[in-house]
Amino acid sequence: MAESGRKDFSDKAKEHVTPDSSKSTTDKLKESFTSTTDKGARELQSDSSKSTTQSTADKLGREKDDKVHGGTGDSVIDKTKNALGLGNKD
C-alpha cells in the first residue's frame, strides 16, 4: 500500500511487467505522468517521515534512477533549481 498521494506498489509492478507493445498511447502517457509526479512526491517528503516500506521503496527507486540516468546525487528539486539557474552557486 502506498502512502497518500503516491502511486501504489501494485500499480508500479503491473506497469513494469506489462509490455509496452500491449499498452495504448493513453496508458503510456498516464504511466509517464503518474511516475513523474510520484518521483516528485518521493523527494518532497523526508524518508524519516515515511513508513519503512515507502522509505525503502523510495531509496531503491533513487538508486535505480541514478544507475539508469547517471545520477548526480542531487534531488529532483535540486536538479530543477539548477536547470532554472536558481541552484547553489559553488
Phi, psi (degrees; rounded to nearest 5) at 54: -65, -40
- pTM, rounded to two decimals: 0.61
Sign of CA dihedral 60, 65, 43, 36: negative
Supply the pLDDT for residue 68: 77
Q: What parts of the chain have a pLDDT lower than 70?
A: 1-2, 70-76, 88-90
- Give me the amino acid identity at 40: G
